[in-house]
């Protein structure tokens, strides 16, 4: 019997639950000094002067560095599509463009000495007009990057089909804000760098993608890739924000060379809130039209994406929003246009879902607006417009081809699990009775794209002479459970128990190639690679066993329980994995196989979430009573691990709907720069989730697996937001922007009255 | 996130603490549970050069029946208030509110004395002690004095305590009625959290009740005379609105 599909308890957890993990900041690196960045406190200003004299002679200070000292070439563009006229310098040169932009780097013996020296630095700023809102950026009277001559950092303009809504009986339009949020990994960013005697660079990084850090460092320092050794030890979360080369991370090695010491930098939480990239930040104009029988005829989404002061991957998020614009619905006509603009705010990067939650939030809100307008139950409107199961592979009007799905079944399962009809009855009762606490029921029938950015992944499997195995993977987990999942995949092929399988990741010297863990790609790319490599090892072992047993390889079978090979029918004469590994030890690589797997395409997980909220109509307070989630990510390798991803995702998604927002005042000062002001979700704000899993295997890969890392976040946000609006719909409320804070809810009620 | 360097002194008696305060003046700060002071120090908003740790003055941790009132040692942790049987019987509102503070970690560290001495208008316990008409006992170089809760809170994070004084005890009258922000003790005391720069009595509501107004009418004037500030959580208007709703609910709960 295969181990795949079983609830296998995570191998990595005993360590985390007892001694704890080892994060970059925990590493003892002999002789390491510390780096402290002095960051801009002004959102937009010309730097008149920087006075570093006093800091230079402060206790413990080894160096104080400004942009003028850095003789490195400008940072290479992170992605080819980004506007090269809007580059972020290593340290701010003459102008600062957001609060949090690094201006000065201090190297000191201890972190405390660095913090003290930072207070002795005086930066004279000449204020420049500040651009915080994206519409102002589009209008363009203030231009942040004069060389670019525009604030537009990226655009997807396909023209507007003016006849899009012709023939629609009903058209609803609404502007909605998919607010900026902060990823808040529990471990903030941390980097340590050391130049080795042979000229190689070792860098420890808290990252989701060590190989791309290696490549970025090699480029920045003019080294060959194999001259850079990147290690990511345990990583305490990333959520998409710990990918790619932040200037302040890449500069540590240069500082290390300058002072001739290994260096360590760990950002503080307050620093992380402004210096780690933010997510979402889309202003959306949604328009939906159709007929009164509930058929949706056309949909238009126009996006204004905030990319922050220096465009990074966040500027490109609208790509994914466009890809998933029409969601689970068969809509004949769909229009999408977007512009990304720079503002005096922290750069926007990818954050759990990266462009897809924005698409889902827009279409799910749109469907509810349409349902409210025609007076039809939102579940019924969905039922009438979902892509039917026999339509797959299904290509949307914008050209996205969904692999496989049964959206209707997910909807019906979710309605059933939530007791939808009874909920509506209870809602009617409370409305009738005019109760203060009203009930809201919100739906979200989502589909998303995983492994949306094409790429391959490396895996190597080796059986050692003692009969244990090691698998090396190019993906780099930071909480997702790869160690358990990859061991299961290899165990399934080899028969070697998971406790005897070591999973190695996050070290570019040991794992030659890799892409990383993001976009819910790991299992369907890296996992498949591991599975294939394991299969190749079995083939090799079979050949070897056949030779030793003087048999035809076709007659040799692997007894997975006994972990050995024998000729079919004569189990008494067998060769164990250890024996075969010893036999193969003379050959290069021993008993091992390597593979790079490139999947033929992306996969499309889907599901349906139902949120039940109680809204106190006097105080505006929203309480999530229930969150019912049906998720289908294809074949599930380990339900326990999948559920962990779903649970965290649901909480994070619900948090965007109700709690979280990064806010700036008109001068670009962050108002949410610590966890006292940024309302990070905790277990106290969410109910126990009710999850149901559906498994529709994808034909795209041999495991039948899709990604599950982001679905929870994608589905739950609109479900909760829709529930809040639903609770108030009888009062005439049609929309409440996120986060639906008590005050916003109160105002929406007051405005509707 | 890293405080400015400071000296640390752990004391084993009130006198020792007072001696250190006298020596260092306003350079020194008392450290109780640290749950208000340490965050400020980490943000470098508070920069004491000497921390006088009174956290182990166990003889200032008690809840005692003192006849007409209950006496509470200033170093009593929120958790001990929450679980005190005496409070549950005699001043249930205080036990109830202590149980609402933060999370278990905060309640096991934070002290009632620290909460009052910090004088944060957003804190829960100061408002309750104010509503109850409590009395605070402080010791300083000149000996002991008592301060009415009513005149204790002077401004944002400012109290009547001098830099050389230590809060030793909080006295609250027995009041058997449970309610979220209202207490009945012959008269009704109503105090408001986060409606100005200090915790406040809802004096218009109290006056209306004394004059025989209905709960609804009395609650409707709860925000009168207050000047709440606005922030990301709530605008001044919303705070005023919430005051009327929450005071009404508290009065209804107290009356039922
Ligand atoms: C995460 C978190 C959540 C919280 N949530 C809440 C909440 O929901 N509601 C709430 O009301 N509070 C909350 N608090 C604040 C908490 O209740 C604090 O513990 C309390 O306000 C201060 O008590 P302390 O003993 O920790 O004081 P400390 O931080 O040690 O001291 C605070 C101030 O009081 C002074 N001081 C302390 N003891 C004395 C004394 N005996 N005499 C004179 N001066 C003294 C100190 O010098 C300092 O200036 C929260 C705090 C945290 C960190």
In tens, the pLDDT along B27-43 reads 999 999 999 999 999 99
B235 at interface of A, judged by CB pairs closer than 8 A = yes
Does the pLDDT value for residue B105 go beyond 90? yes
Work out the average pLDDT over A741-752. 97
A17-128+186-237+242-275 and A452-597 have identical folds: no
Domain locations in chain A as residue ranges: 17-128+186-237+242-275, 386-392+401-450+602-753, 452-597
Q: How far is the CA of A406 from the centre of ligand 1 (A)?
A: 54
Nearest CA in chain B to A684: B103
* CATH number for position B40: 3.30.43.10
Q: How far is the CA of A112 from the centre of ligand 1 (A)?
A: 25
Q: Residue B191 and residue B71: Cα distance in Å, rounded? A: 20
Which segments of A325-419 does DSSP mark as H helices, in order?
356-374, 378-385, 407-418
* CATH number for position B201: 3.30.390.50
The helix/strand/coil state of A192 is strand
Task: Using an 8 Å CB-CB cutoff, list chain A residues near B235.
Answer: 743
Ligand 1, atom 38, lies closest to the CA of: B114
DSSP B36: T
Q: Is residue B182 in a domain?
A: yes
Residue B188: pLDDT band with limits 50, 70, 90: confident
Q: In whole numbers, what is the pLDDT of chain A averaged over residues?
A: 96
- For residues B42 and B76, state if they share a domain: no
Work out the average pLDDT over A59-72. 97
pLDDT at B253: 85
Ligand 1, atom 9, lies closest to the CA of: B101
Is CATH 3.30.365.10 what the domain over A17-128+186-237+242-275 is classified as, yes or no?
A: no
Instruction: Answer with the one of B173, B201, B228 that is the final residue of a domain.
Output: B173
Q: Residue A343 and residue A54: Cα distance in Å, rounded? A: 33
Q: Is residue B104 in a domain?
A: yes
A271 contacts B1? CB cut-off 8 A: yes
Among A269, A618, A677, beta carbon nearest to B232: A677
- For residues B109 and B167, state if they share a domain: yes
Q: Is residue B132 in a domain?
A: yes
Q: Where are the beta strands (DSSP E) in A116-235?
A: 122-127, 152-156, 170-181, 190-195, 201-205, 228-231
For the ranges A213-222, A307-316, B175-184, B208-217, which has the lowest average pLDDT?
B175-184
Q: Residue A352 and residue A479: Cα distance in Å, rounded? A: 13
Say what the pTM is: 0.96
Q: How far is the CA of B223 from the centre of ligand 1 (A)?
A: 26
Work out the average pLDDT over A496-500. 97
Q: How far is the CA of B115 from the centre of ligand 1 (A)?
A: 4
- For residues B164 and B63, state if they share a domain: yes
pLDDT at B143: 95
Phi-psi region of A417 (alpha: psi -120 to 50; beta: other; left: phi over 0): alpha
Instruction: Answer with the one of B34, B53, B72 that is the final residue of a domain.
Output: B53
- For residues B163 and B126, state if they share a domain: yes
Q: Is residue B1 in a domain?
A: no
Which segments of A661-704 does DSSP mark as H helices, in order?
none
> What range defines the domain where residue B40 resides?
7-53
A672 contacts B232? CB cut-off 8 A: yes
A positions 89-118 inside 8 Å of B (CB): 111-112, 115-116
Does the pLDDT value for residue B183 go beyond 60? no
The 3-class secondary structure across A81-110, one letter per residue, is: CCCCCCCCCCCCCCEECCCCCEEEEEEECC
Work out the average pLDDT over A520-534. 95
The ipTM is 0.93
> What residue ranges line ligand 1, CB within 6 angstroms?
B 29-37, 39, 54, 74, 101-102, 106, 109-111, 113-115, 117-118, 123-125, 161, 166-167
Among the four given CATH numbers 2.60.40.10, 3.30.365.10, 3.40.50.300, 1.20.1630.10, the one describing domain A452-597: 3.30.365.10
Ligand 1, atom 41, lies closest to the CA of: B167
Nearest CA in chain B to A270: B1
pLDDT at A170: 98
Does the pLDDT value for residue B180 go beyond 50? no
pLDDT at B77: 98
Ligand 1, atom 31, lies closest to the CA of: B114
Tell me how close the Cα of A112 comes to any Cα of chain B, in angstroms. Answer: 6
Residue B178: pLDDT band with limits 50, 70, 90: very low
- For residues B62 and B169, state if they share a domain: yes
B38 at interface of A, judged by CB pairs closer than 8 A = no
Atom of ligand 1 nearest to the CA of A676: 1
DSSP B227: -
pLDDT at A618: 98
Among B1, B232, B245, beta carbon nearest to A270: B1
- For residues B85 and B157, state if they share a domain: yes
Could you say which architecture CATH assigns to the domain A386-392+401-450+602-753? 2-Layer Sandwich (3.30)
Does the pLDDT value for residue A445 go beyond 50? yes
Q: Residue A722 and residue A47: Cα distance in Å, rounded? A: 46
pLDDT at B176: 58
Q: In whole numbers, what is the pLDDT of chain B averaged over residues?
A: 93
Does the pLDDT value for residue A701 go beyond 90? yes
CB A504 within 8 A of CB A472: yes
B44 contacts A743? CB cut-off 8 A: no
DSSP A159: -
Residue B94: pLDDT band with limits 50, 70, 90: very high
Atom of ligand 1 nearest to the CA of B31: 30
At A216, list the tokens.
């970025």
Q: How far is the CA of B33 from the centre of ligand 1 (A)?
A: 6
Does the pLDDT value for residue A128 go beyond 50? yes
- For residues B197 and B169, state if they share a domain: no
pLDDT at B177: 55
pLDDT, tens only, A45-57? 999 999 999 999 9
Count Cβ neighbours within 10 Å for each residue of A426-459 and write b for 16 or more, e otherwise.
ebeebeeeeeeebbbbbbbbbbbbbbbeeebbbb
Does the pLDDT value for residue B181 go beyond 90? no
pLDDT, tens only, A341-396? 999 999 999 999 999 999 999 999 999 999 999 999 999 999 999 999 999 999 99
Residue A79: pLDDT band with limits 50, 70, 90: confident
DSSP B10: E
**How many structural domains comprise chain B?**
3
Alpha carbon separation from A311 to A304, A336, B14 (Å, rounded): 14, 21, 58
The preferred substitution site among B21, B117, B168 for testing ligand 1, maximizing ligand atoms within 8 Å of CB, is B117
B103 contacts A112? CB cut-off 8 A: no
Instruction: Answer with the one of B18, B35, B53 that is the final residue of a domain.
Output: B53
For the ranges A430-434, A508-512, B250-254, which has the lowest average pLDDT?
B250-254
Q: Residue B112 and residue B35: Cα distance in Å, rounded? A: 11
What percent of chain A stands above pLDDT 70?
100
- For residues B100 and B155, state if they share a domain: yes
* CATH number for position B98: 3.30.465.10
- For residues B169 and B83, state if they share a domain: yes
- For residues B63 and B162, state if they share a domain: yes
pLDDT, tens only, A654-681? 999 999 999 999 999 999 999 999 999 9
- For residues B81 and B154, state if they share a domain: yes
Work out the average pLDDT over B50-79. 97
Task: Using an 8 Å CB-CB cutoff, list chain A residues near B1.
Answer: 115, 268-271
The preferred substitution site among B93, B102, B120, B159 for testing ligand 1, maximizing ligand atoms within 8 Å of CB, is B102
- For residues B157 and B182, state if they share a domain: no
Residue A81: pLDDT band with limits 50, 70, 90: confident
Task: Using an 8 Å CB-CB cutoff, list chain B residues near A112.
Answer: 2, 5
Does the pLDDT value for residue B179 go beyond 50? no
Does the pLDDT value for residue B182 go beyond 60? no
A115 contacts B43? CB cut-off 8 A: no
């Amino acid at each position: 019997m295969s181990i795949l599909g079983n609830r296998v308890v995570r191998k990595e957890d005993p360590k985390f639950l007892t001694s704890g993990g080892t994060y970059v900041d925990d590493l003892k690196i002999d002789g390491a000094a510390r780096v402290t960045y002095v960051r801009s406190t002004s959102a937009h200003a010309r730097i008149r002067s920087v006075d570093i004299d006093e800091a230079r002679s402060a206790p413990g200070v080894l160096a104080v560095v400004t942009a003028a000292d850095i003789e490195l070439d400008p940072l290479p563009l992170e992605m080819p599509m980004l506007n090269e006229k809007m580059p972020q310098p290593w340290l701010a040169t003459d102008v600062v463009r957001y609060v949090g932009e690094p201006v000065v780097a201090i190297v000191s013996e201890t972190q405390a000495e660095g913090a003290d020296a930072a207070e002795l630095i005086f930066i004279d700023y000449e204020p420049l007009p500040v651009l915080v809102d994206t519409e102002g950026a589009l209008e363009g009277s203030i231009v942040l990057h004069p060389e670019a001559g525009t604030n537009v950092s990226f655009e997807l303009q396909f023209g507007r089909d003016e006849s899009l809504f012709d023939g629609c009986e009903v058209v609803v339009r609404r502007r909605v804000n998919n607010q900026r949020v902060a990823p808040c990994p529990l471990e903030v960013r941390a980097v340590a760098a050391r130049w080795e005697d042979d000229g190689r660079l070792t860098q420890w990084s808290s990252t989701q993608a060590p190989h791309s850090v290696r490549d970025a460092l090699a480029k920045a320092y003019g080294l060959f890739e194999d001259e850079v050794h990147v290690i990511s030890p345990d990583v305490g979360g990333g959520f998409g924000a710990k990918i790619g080369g932040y200037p302040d991370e890449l500069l540590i090695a240069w500082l290390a060379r300058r002072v001739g010491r290994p260096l360590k930098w760990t950002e503080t939480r307050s620093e992380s809130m402004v210096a780690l990239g933010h997510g979402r930040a889309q202003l959306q104009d949604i328009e939906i039209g159709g007929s009164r029988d509930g058929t949706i005829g056309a949909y238009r989404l126009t996006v204004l994406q905030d990319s922050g002061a220096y465009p990074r991957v966040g500027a490109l998020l609208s790509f994914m929003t466009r890809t998933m614009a029409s969601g689970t619905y068969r809509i004949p006509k769909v229009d999408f246009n977007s512009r990304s603009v720079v503002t005096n705010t922290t750069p926007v990067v990818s954050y759990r879902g990266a462009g897809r939650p924005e698409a889902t939030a827009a279409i799910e809100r749109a469907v509810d607006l349409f349902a409210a307008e025609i007076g039809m139950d939102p579940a019924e409107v969905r039922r009438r417009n979902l892509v039917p199961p026999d339509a797959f592979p299904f290509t949307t009007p914008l050209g996205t081809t969904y692999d496989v799905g049964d959206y209707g079944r997910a909807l019906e399962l979710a309605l059933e699990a939530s007791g939808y009809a009874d909920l509506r009855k209870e809602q009617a009762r409370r409305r009738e009775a005019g109760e203060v606490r009203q009930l809201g029921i919100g739906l979200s029938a989502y589909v998303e794209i995983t492994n949306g950015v094409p790429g391959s992944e490396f895996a190597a499997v080796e059986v050692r002479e003692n009969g244990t195995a090691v698998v090396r993977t190019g993906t780099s987990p930071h909480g997702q459970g790869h160690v358990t999942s990859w061991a299961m995949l290899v165990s399934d092929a080899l028969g070697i128990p998971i406790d005897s399988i070591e999973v190695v990741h996050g070290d570019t010297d040991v794992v030659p190639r890799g892409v990383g863990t993001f976009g819910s790609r790991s299992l369907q790319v890296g996992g498949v690679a591991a599975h294939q490599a394991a299969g190749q090892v079995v083939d090799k072992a079979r050949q070897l066993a056949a030779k030793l047993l003087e048999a035809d390889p076709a007659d040799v079978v692997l007894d997975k329980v006994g972990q050995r090979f024998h000729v079919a029918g004569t189990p008494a004469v067998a060769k164990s994995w250890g024996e075969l590994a010893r036999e193969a030890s003379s050959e290069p690589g021993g008993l091992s196989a390597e593979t790079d797997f490139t999947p033929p395409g992306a996969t499309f997980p889907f599901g349906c979430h139902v949120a039940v909220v109680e809204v106190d109509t006097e105080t505006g307070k929203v309480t999530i009573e229930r969150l019912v989630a049906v998720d289908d990510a294809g074949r599930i390798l380990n339900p326990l691990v999948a559920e962990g991803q779903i649970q965290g995702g649901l909480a994070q998604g619900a948090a965007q709907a109700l709690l979280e927002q990064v806010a700036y005042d008109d001068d670009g000062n962050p108002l949410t720069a610590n966890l006292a002001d940024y309302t990070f979700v905790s277990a106290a704000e969410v109910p126990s989730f009710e999850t149901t899993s559906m498994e529709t295997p994808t034909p795209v890969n041999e495991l039948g697996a899709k990604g599950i890392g982001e679905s929870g976040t994608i589905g739950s946000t609109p479900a909760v937001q829709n529930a809040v609006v639903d609770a108030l719909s009888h009062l005439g409320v049609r929309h409440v922007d996120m986060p639906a804070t008590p005050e916003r809810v109160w105002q929406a009620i007051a405005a509707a009255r | 996130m890293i405080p400015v360097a400071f000296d640390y002194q752990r004391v084993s008696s009130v006198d020792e603490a007072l001696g250190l305060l006298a020596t260092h003046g306003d350079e020194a700060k008392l450290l109780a549970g640290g749950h208000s002071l340490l965050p400020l120090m980490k943000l470098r908003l508070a920069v004491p050069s000497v921390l006088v740790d009174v956290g182990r003055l166990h003889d200032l941790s008690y809840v005692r029946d003192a006849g007409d009132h209950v006496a509470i040692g200033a170093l009593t942790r929120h958790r001990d208030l929450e679980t005190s049987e005496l409070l549950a019987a005699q001043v249930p509102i205080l036990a109830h509110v202590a149980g609402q503070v933060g999370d278990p970690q905060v309640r096991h560290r934070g002290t009632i004395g620290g909460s009052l001495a910090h004088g944060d208008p957003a804190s829960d316990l100061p408002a309750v002690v104010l509503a109850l008409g409590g009395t605070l006992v402080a010791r300083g170089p000149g000996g002991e004095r008592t301060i009415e809760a009513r005149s204790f809170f002077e401004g944002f994070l400012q109290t009547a305590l001098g830099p050389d004084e230590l809060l030793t005890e909080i006295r609250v009258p027995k009041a058997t009625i449970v309610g979220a922000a209202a207490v009945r003790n012959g008269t009704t005391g109503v105090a408001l959290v986060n409606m100005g720069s200090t915790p406040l009595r809802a004096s218009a509501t109290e006056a209306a009740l004394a004059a025989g107004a209905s709960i609804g009418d009395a609650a409707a004037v709860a925000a009168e005379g207050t000047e709440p500030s606005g922030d990301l959580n709530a605008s001044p208007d919303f705070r005023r609105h919430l005051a009327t709703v929450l005071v009404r609910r508290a009065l209804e709960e107290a009356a039922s």
